[in-house]
Structure 1
Amino acid sequence: MHWGERQEYALDRPSIYRRAHSPFTHTLIPMGNLESPNS
């Protein structure tokens, strides 16, 4: 696993890191979807 590379990538380009296929994207999507449909 490229932990060091991942950290540098996120620090260098936080925008791309969020857009890239990362756990963050999957976490942000369900977070908002859970509150919307659940309400």
Structure 2
Amino acid sequence: MSRYTGESMEPILKLDSARLLMRQWRDDDLPAFAAMCRD
């Protein structure tokens, strides 16, 4: 059974480590993302 109470959680805006940076998506990310996915 879940213990979720319905209260919203605060979002993580940025997660940073020595080898990884995770952040919110930005519009200027699209060209690089499209290039990575191009066949």
Superposition TM-score tier, normalisation by shorter sequence: under 0.3
Structure (1/2) with the larger helix percentage:
1
Q: When the two structures are superposed, what TM-score results if normalisation uses the length of structure 1? A: 0.27
Q: When the two structures are superposed, what TM-score results if normalisation uses the length of structure 2? A: 0.27
